[in-house]
Each structure stands twice: as structure tokens, then as C-alpha cells.
């Protein structure tokens, strides 16, 4: 296991769910964290907690990953103490709606494609050249079981996660011959704000997704991400699929009630 002490870790979507849990586990290992999301007040609260609990340094980026010029300026204008990013966790992402494709909402589609695919590409494009030139680095993308199996109404979201799978594989191939690592962590059902966002704030509908199931927690996923990041430098975990014991595929879930 390699030490993450003082390694610089950039986490997108750190204001909630899996990104927030990643911040905590990497902070516990002494990493220096760049926390990015749109909700700055959430990031500030997290930074205060991490400083209190672990005494770690954080650098906050209020960032919409869909905004390419802003992603470029945010990365290229990082202070020198923060610019040599060791680990990029491309976690920011969302689903919108469960409509049939032929009845789908264009705005929902654009939000998912722009965030999950284009945002991930922008971060990768601006961060990875520095990793290559420094001869060290690790990109960890949040894929999903939805990138392996499509489910009814999942159409465009599943398409974005299938794209993440292909992009992770492509990046791994393009980095061959460098020491930079690429991992895709692909969870099944994780209880976060994900379903609330999918259903545009309908908390009752969101709650039903997890009813009678013992879903993964954000900490379960962060634990796997941390495992991937701490393997010996010559080991690349390409892809991990994890799901709750109560889930067997994207559509097959055991519910107690």
C-alpha cells in the first residue's frame, strides 16, 4: 500500500454523496485536497470539518464542470502549491429523469451529457498533461453499473456511463508507456442525493428507490476508490463493479417490503 500523505487529490462533486465520502477517507490518509463543486457553502463546511478532524489543507474550487473555459482557468491558475495534482477523481455527475427516450426532456439530456461526459473530459484534458510530464498520476472515474447494463428509462444516463467506460479504456490505452494509472469505479445502488436529483427534488419518489433494500453507502464506494489509489505504483485496477448484496443487476433487486 502506498502512502497518500501530502499527495494532491482533486475531487469533483465533493459537496455531496460519494465525493464527500472520498474527501473524508483521503483526508484521513493525510492527502491535500482540492474540492470542487458548484455549491461553495457545502465545500466550505466540509473543509472546516476536515480541518478540525484531520488538520488537512484544502483548496476549494467553485466549479461547474460543464463550463470548459472555467475548468481551464481553474486548473491553469491553481497556486503552485496545489498545481501538481497526483490523483483526479472524476466523480461529479447526475441523472435526470426516467422518461422513455422518445418522450425525453432535451434539457435533462443535455445536463447529463454535458456533466457526465463532457465535464469529465474537460477535467481529464486539463489535468492529465501535467501528470504525464511529472511522471506520476492516477485518474479515477465514477462509472456505474448503468454503463454495463441499460435499464428501462435509463437510456441517456446509461449512455453517458457507457461513454465513461469507453473513455476510461481509451485513456488507459493512450497513457500506455507512462506511469499514469486509470481506474473506473462502477457502483450499483448507492444511497446519496442521486435519486433526489434524478427526480428533480421529489424526495418521496427518491426515498422509494431505496425502500426495503440495504444499499451501498457513499463510504462503501469511497473505500473501494481508496483501495485502488493505494496499490503499488505498478498495479493498475482497471475497473471495479460493486453493488449491494441485495442487488444482482441494474434491474434485479431484492426488496424486503
Residues lying near ligand 8X3 in the complex (CB under 6 A) are found at: 144-146, 154, 188-189, 250
Return the C-alpha cell found at 222. 469511497
> What distance in Å separates the CA atoms of residue 37 and residue 58, rounded to the nearest whole number?
13
Instruction: Decide which of ligand NDP, ligand 8X3, none touches 172; Cβ closer than 5 to 8 Å per partner kind.
Output: none
Instruction: Decide which of ligand 8X3, ligand NDP, none touches 142; Cβ closer than 5 to 8 Å per partner kind.
Output: ligand NDP
Contact 14, 37 (CB under 8 A): yes
Please, which residue, 91 or 168, has the CB nearer to ligand NDP? 91
Residues 6+ apart with CB under 8 A from 106: none
CB atoms within 10 A of CB 72: 13
Nearest approach, Cβ of residue 159 and ligand 8X3 (Å)? 11
Q: Is 13 an interacting residue with respect to ligand NDP (CB under 6 A)? A: yes
| 102 annotated active-site | no
Among residues 153, 154, 165, the alpha carbon closest in space to that of 241 is found at 165
Nearest approach, Cβ of residue 94 and ligand NDP (Å)? 5
Alpha-carbon dihedral sign for residues 27, 23, 137, 189: positive
Please, which residue, 13 or 137, has the CB nearer to ligand NDP? 13
Query: Which residue of 8, 9, 12, 199 would you call a contact of ligand NDP, by CB under 6 A?
Result: 12
Q: Residue 238 — φ and ψ, nearest 5°? A: -70, -45
Per-residue mark of binding to ligand NDP, 82-101 (x: CB under 6 A): ---------xxxx-------
Residues with active-site annotation = 157
Amino acid at each position: 500500500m502506498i502512502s497518500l500523505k501530502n499527495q494532491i487529490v482533486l475531487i469533483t462533486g465533493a459537496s455531496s454523496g460519494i465525493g464527500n465520502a472520498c474527501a473524508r477517507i483521503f483526508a484521513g490518509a493525510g492527502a491535500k485536497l482540492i474540492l470542487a463543486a458548484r455549491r461553495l457553502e457545502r465545500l466550505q463546511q466540509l473543509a472546516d470539518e476536515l480541518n478540525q478532524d484531520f488538520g488537512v489543507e484544502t483548496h476549494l474550487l467553485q466549479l461547474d464542470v460543464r463550463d470548459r473555459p472555467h475548468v481551464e482557468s481553474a486548473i491553469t491558475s491553481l497556486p503552485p502549491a496545489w498545481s501538481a495534482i497526483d490523483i483526479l477523481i472524476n466523480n461529479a455527475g447526475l441523472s435526470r429523469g426516467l422518461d422513455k427516450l422518445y418522450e425525453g426532456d432535451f434539457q435533462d439530456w443535455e445536463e447529463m451529457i454535458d456533466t457526465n461526459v463532457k465535464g469529465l473530459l474537460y477535467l481529464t484534458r486539463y489535468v492529465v498533461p501535467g501528470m504525464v510530464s511529472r511522471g506520476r498520476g492516477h485518474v479515477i472515474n465514477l462509472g456505474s453499473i448503468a454503463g454495463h447494463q441499460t435499464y428501462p428509462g435509463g437510456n441517456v444516463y446509461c449512455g453517458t456511463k457507457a461513454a465513461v467506460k469507453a473513455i476510461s479504456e481509451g485513456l488507459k490505452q493512450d497513457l500506455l508507456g507512462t506511469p499514469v494509472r486509470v481506474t473506473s469505479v462502477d457502483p450499483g445502488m448507492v444511497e446519496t442525493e442521486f435519486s433526489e436529483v434524478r427526480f428533480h427534488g421529489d424526495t418521496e419518489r427518491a426515498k422509494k428507490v431505496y425502500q426495503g433494500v440495504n444499499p451501498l453507502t457513499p463510504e462503501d464506494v469511497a473505500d473501494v476508490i481508496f483501495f485502488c489509489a493505494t496499490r503499488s505504483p505498478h498495479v493498475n485496477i482497471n475497473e471495479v463493479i460493486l453493488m449491494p448484496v441485495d442487488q444482482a443487476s441494474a434491474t434485479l433487486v431484492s426488496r424486503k417490503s
